[in-house]
Amino acid sequence: MKAILALADGRIFEGKSFGAGGEVTGEVVFNTAMTGYQEVLTDPSYKGQMVTMTYTQIGNTGINPEDIESRGLFLSGFIVREYLDFPSNFRSTMTLDAYLKENGVVGIHGLDTRALTRHLRDKGAQNGIISTVDFDHASLVAKAKALHSMAGLDLASGVSCDKPYHWTEGAWKLGEGYPQIDPATMKYKVVAYDFGIKYNILRCLVDAGCDVTVVPATFPAEEALAMNPDGIFLSNGPGDPEPLVAVQQEIRKFIGKKPIFGICLGHQLLGLALGGKTVKLPFGNHGSNLPVMDMSTRTVEITSQNHGFAVDLESLGDVACLGHENLNDQTVEGIRHCSLPIFSVQHHPEASPGPHDSQYLFGRFVELMEKEKQVQA
């Protein structure tokens, strides 16, 4: 079936449909990861976006029930160069095409993703539309132009959990799957705010010795503190952090009371709660091969990232300092509070997909909680 991708600036890409049919809209971005398309598909941070994979062949490892990162697919559309309908992997249980159909996600393949990526890199991420029902170029461009910008959108509320729950699953082991860990063996109690949290973040927290309770994005800070946690975790998520004013107000109630660790959107929200500002990047950083420097050790890590906004370090004044720096575009990849046990990173230390260079950050969070416990003892 024919499919067309139209961008708001008038650029047209024709291809073929796979997955569900229909018409979908969203911000078009590109992801440079060579593997892990299933984790990309199930990352809630992509809500409201259509993802272009720069790697050429997608679908060759199929889909399995173990590599999902959330309860569903939240992205608007999936764009690939060459879709492969004959997966070869010992864990595969279905094709990517069938998976997209099952979840109602529209896909397009057979277009020049290299040209599309260069266009987005040069012109910036922009709104677009994929259609298998309307092939009129002018009509599609008009629809794309009419879409609201990602800036100013609160998307986290639409992907957060509805009520608190306990997480006890550890990291995956070959031949064993995901072990269930007895919370009684965990030394640190953590309340994790879900703005679109990925499952592997929770597994990494468990592996680090944390008894994790996940709460909705709007969960009152007073109720979280009543659980007497050793630390507060702020998760990743989609959209612009600035409209989440109520969330920022709740985060401020933890400052000076508990150690705090934030990732991605949680990092941006922490920056705003500390009095800083955020900015929208031209095309963001999406992929699993992005270099970052830990400023405390001068160690360079290859990281997994997925964000379109960044914290403005200067706006934080002397409240926080630079914790990590992106070595490609010199944007802020992490901040550290100057006097309190609070830090956050823009990249994803849990990876999934991606390298594990930054997983030590979960240990750093545990160290802060341990020091705080000793102070309180």
Active-site residues, by number, are: 264, 348, 350
Q: Which amino acid is at 322?
A: L
Residues 219 and 357: their CA atoms lie apart, in Å, by 32
Per-residue burial over 207-219, b if 16 or more Cβ lie within 10 Å, else e, is bbbbbbbbbbbeb
Q: Is 17 annotated as a binding residue?
A: no
Q: Is 200 annotated as a binding residue?
A: no
Q: Is 308 annotated as a binding residue?
A: yes
Q: Is 21 annotated as a binding residue?
A: no
How many helices and strands, by DSSP H and E, does the chain display? 9, 19
Measured at the CA of 68, the angle between CA 66 and CA 71, to 5 degrees, comes to 120
Q: Is 49 annotated as a binding residue?
A: no
Q: Is 306 annotated as a binding residue?
A: yes
CB of 133 closer than 8 Å to CB of 21? yes
End-to-end CA distance of the chain: 66
Q: Is 268 annotated as a binding residue?
A: yes
On the question of a cis peptide bond just before residue 87, with omega within 30 degrees of 0, the verdict is: no
Q: Is 237 annotated as a binding residue?
A: yes
Number of CB atoms found within 10 A of residue 376's CB:
7
Can you read off the two tokens belonging to residue 112?
A: 């020049």
Angle between helix axes 265-273 and 245-252 (nearest 10 degrees) is 70
Annotated binding residues for L-glutamine, as ranges? Answer: 45, 237, 239, 265, 268, 306, 308-309
Annotated binding residues, as ranges? Answer: 45, 237, 239, 265, 268, 306, 308-309
